[in-house]
Structure 1
Amino acid sequence: MGTTKVFVALCVCLMAGCCLGQLSVKRRLSYSAQQCRINRITSNEPSRRIECEGGLIEVWDENDEQFQCSGIDARRITIQPNSLVLPSFHPFPRLVYIQQGEGILGVSYPGCPETYQSTSRRQESGRRGEREWQSGGQSDLHQKVHRFRAGDILAIPPGAVHWSYNDGNEEIISIAVNDLNNHANQLDQNFRASFLAGGLGGRSGLRERRGEEQQFQQFQNIFSTFDSELMAEAFNVPEDLIKRMQQSQDRSLIVRAEKGQMRILSPRSLEEEEEDEERRRSKYMGLLDDVNGLEETVCTMRLRHNLDNRREADVFSRRGGRLNIVNQHKLPILRELDMSVEKGHMFPNTIYSPHWAMNSHSAVYVTQGDAQLQIVGNNGETIMDDTVKQGEMFVIPQFFTSICKAGNNGFEYVSFKTTSSPMKSPLVGYTSVFRAMPLQVISNSFRISPSQAQELKFGRQHQTFFLSPQAKSGRSS
C-alpha cells in the first residue's frame, strides 16, 4: 500500500513538471505563433535615432514582422568618451556585442556583497598593483565591475541594475539584443526599461528621429513620483536630497560625466582577468553539464566572453574561415538567460552551408563585408534573396532554411540566438542530413541514379558549415 502511494505521488510530480514545462513552451509560442506569417525578410539599418547628451541610441523597427516573429528588440548604442549610460533594469535578458572601444560595465545583484573596497588617500600608500581612485579622499564599497573591449559579448540578466562607462579615448559602439519573448518576461513584447536616474521634461537632451521627422520624448526615473517625505524616511536622508533626485530633469539616457569624478575602482587588468578565466575553464573542462553550484555562484559569475579568440574557434577552415560559438558551456550564465551568440569570419566567396536552426531564432548583424543571402520558408517560397551589408541586421526564423555566400571582400557577422544550446541541421557536408541517409532513399526521393545520389551525398565529404569556393569532391578544407 505504501509503495503504491509513493508511486502515485511520483507520477503526480512528473505530470506537474511536464505541465509546467509545456506552459513555458506555450508561453513563448503564445506571443509569436500568430505573428510568424512572414512573406518577406529584408536587411536594414536602424530606423530610429535617439540623440543623447553623451551618445546615440539607434533602434531597429520593432514593428517589422521579422522582429515581431522572433520577439527580439535590437539597438545600436554609441557612447562617447567620458560618458555614462544611466543605471537601469529591464524584465528580459540582454546580450551586448562590443564592436568598437573599451570601457566598464557594472551589474548589481540583490544580496551580493560589496567585494570592491576603496580606501581614503591616507591609506593608499604602500599598495601596488591596484588601480583605485577616490573623489575628495572618500572611501567606497561597491560590487564587482567588469572591464570590456572590442570583440566581447556581455550577458545582462533580467531585473539586474546595470550601467556602463566609457573611460577610453574612442567611442564605444555596441549592438544590444533583447529577448522580449524570454520566459523571464511575464509582461508583454513591448520594450520596457526602468531608469534609476535622469529624466526629461522639456525639449532638450533626448531627441528621437524617424527618418526626417523629429520628435521629443519625455521620460522620468522611478523616483520621480514617489512621496519625497516617505522616500527620505526610507533612505534616512534629508528630504531636499530626495527632491533633487526627483527633479533631475533634462538629463538624457547617456550623460557626460563630471571630469575627475568617474575613476572607478578596478583592481585587475583585462589580461589578468582573461588568464583567470582561462584557468577556470581548463580546471572544469570535462565536468558534467549539470552545474553543481561550486564553480560559479551568482555573485561571482562571468558576464563576459571574447568572440575574437582564434584559439577557441569551434569551426576552422584554412580556405573557408572560422566560427566562434558562445553557448551555456562556454559562458554558464547563458543557461539562465536562455540565449547564445556566434561570430563568423568568412573568407571571400566562401559559402555557409545551407541549413536550418532547430531550436532558435537568429538575429544577425553584419560587422564587416557583404554577402549574398537566401532564405526559404517551409513551403519552398523565397523569403529573402538579397545582398546584406555592413551595419545591417536581419532575422532568420526557426526552421527557415538559409544559405549565404561571402562577397569578394569577405563577410563577418554576429548572430544572436534565442536559446542557450543552439542546434542547426546542415544540408551539405559530413554532418549533413544527406550524409545520414542511405543512397537508395536519396535516389528514389529525387528520381536520380545511384551514382548521382552518391555524388550528392559525398560532394563535400570532408567539409562542414564553411564551404571553400570551387572545392572539388573528396578534398579536405
Structure 2
Amino acid sequence: MASKFGIAIFLSLLVSTAFANNNEVGGQTRLTGAQQCRFERLSASQPSQRIESEAGIIELWDEFEEQFQCAGVAPLRKVLQPDALLLPSYHPNPRLVYVQQGEGLLGITFPGCPETFHSESEQIESIRQGRSHQRIRGGEEQERVMRGQEIEQHQKVHRVRRGDIVALPAGAAHWVFNNGNEQLVCISMNDLNHQANQLDHKFREFFLAGGVPRSGQQGYQRGQQSWQKGQQRSMRGGQQDIRETFQNILRAFDAELLSEAYNVRPDIIERIRRDDERGLIVNAREMRGILKPDEEEQYQRQPRNGIEETYCSMKIRTNIDNIREVETYSREAGKINIVNRYKLPILRAMDMSAEKGKLYQNAMTSPHWSVNGHAIVYVTRGQAQVQIVDQNGQSVMNDIVNEGDMFVVPQYFTSTFRADRNEFEWVSFKTTGEPMKSPLVGYTSVMRALPLQVMTNAYQISPRDAQDLKINRGGESFLLSSGRRS
C-alpha cells in the first residue's frame, strides 16, 4: 500500500514538473523562434476565408497577414446554429477560446485519462439479437442484455456559456454541441509559435469526421489578389501551401486496416470513411437531452492515483465576465478583467492569457506597452480610436475600429484606445500566461516614477509642468475617464 502511495506521489510530481517545464521552454521557444515583426502599417482585419457547413460556418483570418505572422497566431471564428454539432478534431498547438454568444456543451478528451463519467443514452444502432457488448476496465468484455438503452462511459462534458474563456491544449480532441436556443459564437486564437507545435508556423486542424464540401468553400472575401499574396508568403521548402480543405483524416486509411484495428464490420468502416457533404458542423437534434454537463454527472467513486487531480480533472474554463474578479475598475472610465495562469492554472502550460475590457463613453486606456507578449485584440462591441506607435516614433496605426475587427498590438509597441460616444468592449488574447503592462499615465506609470529633475531636463519644461505630468491623473491608473485640461 505504501509503495503504491509513493508511486502515485512520484507520478503526480512528474506531471506537475512536465507542465512547469513546458511553460518555461515555451517562453524560450517563443523568443528564439518568433516571426519577424517588420511592418510600416497595422490595420483592423476581418475574416478572409469562410467555410459553410450544414449547421454553421467557420471563418478564418489570413494567418499569413504580417501582423498575425508577427504574433505567431492564427485566429478563427465558429458559428453554430441551435442543435448543431462541431465534429471532433484536434490541433497541434494550444488554443484559447472566447465564447462571445450563446451556450453549449464541450467535450474534451485528455490522452491517457479514464472515462470516469457515465450517462444513460439510447443506443445509436438497434440492439442486434437483443444483446449489447460493453468493454469494461481491465481488458475484459461482458455481454449485457439491454432493452433499448445502455450505460455509456466518457470523459467530462463541460457546459460553456457567454463570457467563458476556454483553454484547449495541443493534441486534445474536442467537440462542441449547441444545446441553446440561439447561435453559439466562439472566437479562437491558435498559438502557432508554441513549443508544443513542432511542425511549422502554419495553421492545421485534424478532423476525425466530416469534411468541407466543394460548395461550402467560399474562399477569400478580399479577392484572388489577397489569396495569391498569402500563398507567396507561405512558401515552404520550394512548395506552395494550398488552401485548407479540412477533411476527415480517417478517410485516407485502408479500409481493411481500420476494420481490423477497430474489430468491426467493413461496412461500418466504409461509413466513417465516406465523403460527408454536411461539412464540419452538422445537425444533431437527437443529442438534446441526452448529454449532460459535468456538474450534473455523477463521478464514479474509484481510487484516485493523483494524476487525475493534476491533469485529467484539470479546470479548462472560467468566465471573464465575472464582476467579482475584475482586475481594474473605474466608476468613470470602465473595467478590465484578466484571465491568467493564476486564475486558470492550465494556462501555465499553454503560456497564453486573455483580457476583457470595457470603456465608458469617451474614456480611454493609458498609453502603455506590453512587457512580455503580443496582444491580439478582437472588438466585441462599439467603436473606438486606436493608435499604436513603434520604436521609431512612427504611428503604425491610427484608425477607428468597429465590432468584429481584429488587430495585433506587438510586444513593446505603445498603444492606446479611446471610446467614442458609446461604450467600447474588446477581448484581447495574450501570448503569455502572465501578462504585464507598463503605463505612461496614472499612479503606476513611468512618468510618476521619474524624478522631477529628469523630466524637466528631458522635456525642457518647468518644474510645475513636470509636476502636472506626474500627478494630474494621480487618482487613476490604467483606465482614464473623459476630461481635458486647458
Match for residue 379 of structure 1?
Answer: 392
Cα distance in structure 2, aligned partners of 1:449 and 1:205: 65
Cα distance in structure 2, aligned partners of 1:217 and 1:451: 61
Q: Is 2:186 aligned against 1:174?
A: yes
Q: CA deviation at 1:158?
A: 0.5
Q: Is 2:199 aligned against 1:198?
A: no
**228-237 vs 161-170, which deviates more?**
228-237
Match for residue 382 of structure 2?
Answer: 369
Partners of 1:32 and 1:71 within 8 A in 2 = yes
Among 211, 216, 229, the residue aligned to 2:256: 229
After superposition, the C-alpha distances for 1:116-153 in whole angstroms (9 at most, x for unaligned) are 112478xxxxxxxxxxxx99422210000110111111
1:83-232 equivalences in 2 (<5 Å): 83-119=84-120, 136-200=148-212, 203-211=214-222, 218-232=245-259
Letter in 1 for 2:178: N
After superposition, the C-alpha distances for 1:244-274 in whole angstroms (9 at most, x for unaligned) are 211143231111115357721335369xxxx
Match for residue 406 of structure 2?
Answer: 393
Q: CA deviation at 1:355?
A: 0.2
Match for residue 257 of structure 1?
Answer: 284
Could you say if the C-alpha distance between residues 445 and 145 of structure 1 is closer, same or farther in structure 2, counting changes exceeding 3 Å? same
After superposition, the C-alpha distances for 1:416-438 in whole angstroms (9 at most, x for unaligned) are 00000000100001101111111
Q: CA deviation at 1:362?
A: 0.4
Could you say if the C-alpha distance between residues 76 and 147 of structure 1 is closer, same or farther in structure 2, counting changes exceeding 3 Å? same
Partners of 1:51 and 1:208 within 8 A in 2 = no
Alignment gaps of 5+ in structure 1: 1-18, 122-133, 271-292
Could you say if the C-alpha distance between residues 208 and 318 of structure 1 is closer, same or farther in structure 2, counting changes exceeding 3 Å? same
Task: Indicate the SS of the match to 2:286.
Answer: coil
Letter in 2 for 1:251: R
Partners of 1:363 and 1:395 within 8 A in 2 = yes
Q: CA deviation at 1:204?
A: 3.9
State how many pairs are aligned.
420
Partners of 2:120 and 2:290 within 8 A in 1 = no
Cα distance in structure 1, aligned partners of 2:455 and 2:364: 23
Q: Percent of aligned pairs with the same residue?
A: 52
Cα distance in structure 2, aligned partners of 1:414 and 1:228: 45
Cα distance in structure 1, aligned partners of 2:438 and 2:345: 24
Q: CA deviation at 1:208?
A: 3.4
Task: Indicate the SS of the match to 1:139.
Answer: strand
Letter in 1 for 2:386: L
Cα distance in structure 1, aligned partners of 2:367 and 2:377: 16
Q: CA deviation at 1:364?
A: 0.4
Letter in 1 for 2:106: L
Letter in 1 for 2:431: T
Tell me: higher relative CO, structure 1 or 2? Use CA pairs within 8 A at least 6 residues apart.
2
Partners of 1:323 and 1:342 within 8 A in 2 = yes
Q: Is 2:461 aligned against 1:458?
A: no
Could you say if the C-alpha distance between residues 217 and 432 of structure 1 is closer, same or farther in structure 2, counting changes exceeding 3 Å? closer
Cα distance in structure 2, aligned partners of 1:316 and 1:451: 30
Alignment gaps of 5+ in structure 2: 1-20, 123-145, 228-241, 298-305
Cα distance in structure 1, aligned partners of 2:377 and 2:313: 30
Partners of 1:53 and 1:206 within 8 A in 2 = no
1:300-379 equivalences in 2 (<5 Å): 300-379=313-392
Match for residue 57 of structure 2?
Answer: 56
Match for residue 34 of structure 2?
Answer: 32
Runs ≥4 in structure 1, deviation > 6 angstroms? 19-23, 212-217
Partners of 2:26 and 2:194 within 8 A in 1 = no
1:415-426 equivalences in 2 (<5 Å): 415-426=428-439
Q: CA deviation at 1:27?
A: 3.6
Match for residue 140 of structure 2?
Answer: none
Cα distance in structure 2, aligned partners of 1:111 and 1:23: 23
Cα distance in structure 2, aligned partners of 1:21 and 1:363: 20
TM-score by length of 1: 0.82
Letter in 2 for 1:254: I
Could you say if the C-alpha distance between residues 295 and 466 of structure 1 is closer, same or farther in structure 2, counting changes exceeding 3 Å? farther
